[in-house]
C-alpha cells in the first residue's frame, strides 16, 4: 500500500515529517514495515533553479515577480539579511558552514564534491548569487534517490544492522510564518521556534545531548538561523560558535553535515541527511563523531511547514 497523509513544505520541509508519519502509522497499528523514500529526476523535466514559460502569475508570486524576485536564493536572501542585521551575524559564520560540508565531502567517495575541496579564498572569490549568498552558500541540484525502512522496536532487534530509534519528530511552523507576501510577524526565522521545543519535549533530551546535526542547507543562512532556534547558541553568539573547528568530525563542538550535506554530498531534498544521521548512530559514517548516541536532522529551514527529527541509539531508550 502507498499512502501520503501530510502537507509538504517547499524543498526539504517535509523530509523529517515523512519519517514521522511512517512512525505514526506503525504506532497506530496501520503498518508494521514502512519504506520512506525521495527520488529526483530533475534533468528530465527542468531544473528547480530555472524559470519555465509563465504567462500568468497569482498568489505570492504576483507581489514578487514584478520586482524580479523569482528564484529561491533571492527570496530567502532577504530573510537572512534581516537576521544578520538584527543579530550582527558576519559572513564568516555562513562561510564556516560551507567549509564544514566540503571538508566532510572529501572523505566521502559518494559525494558529488568529493575531490573538490573548498577553502576561504575560493569561497570569497566565488560570485554573488543574491547577497549575502555566494555560490557556495547555495545547495546543489542533482538527480538521485534515497530510502529508509521503519519497523517496530521489537522487530528492529532482529535485523543485521544496529537500529537507529526515533526519539522525537515535529512538523509545522510558527504563527503566520507563511504569510503572503513576505510579511510574517517574525520575518527573520527558520520556522523552528515552536518546533524545536516540541521536539526536545518529545525526546526528553536537551541540545547538549545532541552529538551531531544534519541540517538541510537550502542556503547556509538558514542553517545559522535553524541551529540558533534549536538552542545550540544564542543568535548573538553565532560568530563565535560557527567556526570550522567547531563543526567538523570527529571531535568538533557540534559536527555538522558529516557526509557533505546538500552543499557537497548530494541533493535529494534533504533525505540524504536522514540516512547520514542513521549512519552516525550505527557508527558507519565516513566522518564518524566521537559520541554517537543522538543525531538530529533539520529539514527545510525558512520554508513552511518545516520539520525536524531526533534519532538515538539503544542506549537512549
Asked if the structure places residue 209 within a domain, the reply is yes
Asked if 313 and 293 touch (Cβ cutoff 8 Å), the reply is yes
Q: Mind listing the pLDDT tens digit of every residue in the chain (317 residues)?
A: 666 667 676 778 999 999 999 999 999 999 999 999 988 887 666 666 565 677 788 888 888 888 888 888 999 999 999 999 999 999 999 999 999 999 999 999 999 999 999 999 999 999 999 999 999 999 998 889 999 999 999 999 889 999 999 999 999 988 888 888 788 899 999 999 999 999 999 999 999 999 999 999 999 999 999 999 999 999 999 999 999 999 999 999 999 999 999 999 999 999 999 999 999 999 999 999 999 999 999 999 999 899 999 999 999 99
Asked if the structure places residue 47 within a domain, the reply is yes
Asked if the structure places residue 236 within a domain, the reply is yes
Please give the pLDDT value at position 13: 92
In the numeric block, the cell 572523505 is attached to 107
Asked if the structure places residue 62 within a domain, the reply is no
Residue 244 sits in which domain range?
15-51+70-316
Any idea what the CATH number is for the domain that residue 281 is in? 3.40.47.10
Please give the pLDDT value at position 59: 84
3-class DSSP assignment, residue 308: strand
CA atoms of 226 and 242, how far apart (whole Å): 12
Enzyme catalytic residues: 216, 267
Please give the pLDDT value at position 43: 63
Please give the pLDDT value at position 29: 94
In 18-177, DSSP assigns E strands to: 34-40, 128-130, 133-134, 144-150, 165-172
The total of structural domains in the chain comes to 1
CA atoms of 9 and 164, how far apart (whole Å): 25
Which of these, 272, 284, 299, lies nearest to 142 by C-alpha position? 272
Burial 194-226 (b: 16+ CB within 10 A, else e): bbbebbbeebebeeebbbbbbbbbbbbbbbbbb
Span between the terminal Cα atoms of the chain, in Å: 30
Asked if the structure places residue 136 within a domain, the reply is yes
Which of these, 91, 66, 44, lies nearest to 238 by C-alpha position? 91
Asked if the structure places residue 65 within a domain, the reply is no
Asked if the structure places residue 205 within a domain, the reply is yes
Asked if the structure places residue 86 within a domain, the reply is yes
Which of these, 1, 10, 72, 14, lies nearest to 273 by C-alpha position? 14
Amino acid at each position: 500500500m502507498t499512502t501520503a497523509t501530510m502537507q509538504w513544505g517547499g524543498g526539504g520541509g517535509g523530509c523529517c515529517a515523512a519519517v514521522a508519519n511512517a512512525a505514526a502509522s506503525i504506532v497506530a497499528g496501520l503498518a508494521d514495515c514502512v519504506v520512506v523514500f525521495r527520488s529526483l529526476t530533475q534533468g528530465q523535466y527542468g531544473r528547480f533553479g530555472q524559470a519555465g514559460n509563465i504567462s500568468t502569475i497569482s498568489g505570492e508570486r504576483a507581489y514578487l515577480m514584478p520586482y524580479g524576485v523569482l528564484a529561491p536564493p533571492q527570496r530567502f536572501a532577504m530573510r537572512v539579511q534581516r537576521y544578520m542585521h538584527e543579530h550582527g551575524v558576519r559572513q564568516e559564520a555562513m562561510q564556516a558552514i560551507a567549509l564544514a560540508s566540503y571538508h566532510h565531502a572529501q572523505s566521502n567517495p559518494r559525494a558529488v564534491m568529493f575531490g573538490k575541496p573548498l577553502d576561504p579564498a575560493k569561497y570569497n572569490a566565488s560570485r554573488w548569487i543574491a547577497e549575502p549568498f555566494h555560490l557556495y552558500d547555495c545547495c546543489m541540484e542533482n538527480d538521485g534517490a534515497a530510502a529508509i525502512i521503519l519497523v517496530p522496536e521489537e522487530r528492529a532487534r532482529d535485523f543485521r544492522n544496529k537500529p537507529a530509534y526515533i526519539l522525537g519528530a515535529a512538523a509545522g511552523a510558527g504563527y503566520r510564518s507563511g504569510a503572503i507576501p513576505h510579511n510574517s510577524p517574525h520575518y527573520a526565522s527558520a520556522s523552528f521556534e515552536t518546533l524545536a521545543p516540541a521536539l526536545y519535549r518529545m525526546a526528553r533530551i536537551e541540545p547538549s545531548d545532541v552529538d551531531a546535526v544534519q541540517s538541510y542547507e537550502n542556503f547556509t543562512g538558514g542553517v545559522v538561523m535553524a541551529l540558533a532556534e534549536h538552542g545550540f547558541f544564542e543568535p548573538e553568539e553565532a560568530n563565535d560558535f560557527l567556526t570550522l573547528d567547531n563543526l567538523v568530525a570527529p571531535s568538533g563542538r557540534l559536527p555538522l553535515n558529516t557526509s557533505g550535506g546538500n552543499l557537497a554530498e548530494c541533493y535529494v531534498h534533504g533525505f540524504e541527511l536522514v540516512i547520514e544521521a542513521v549512519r552516525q548512530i550505527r557508527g558507519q559514517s565516513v566522518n564518524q563523531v566521537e559520541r554517537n548516541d543522538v543525531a538530529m536532522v533539520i529539514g527545510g529551514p525558512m520554508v513552511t511547514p518545516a520539520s525536524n527529527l531526533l534519532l538515538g541509539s539503544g542506549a537512549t531508550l
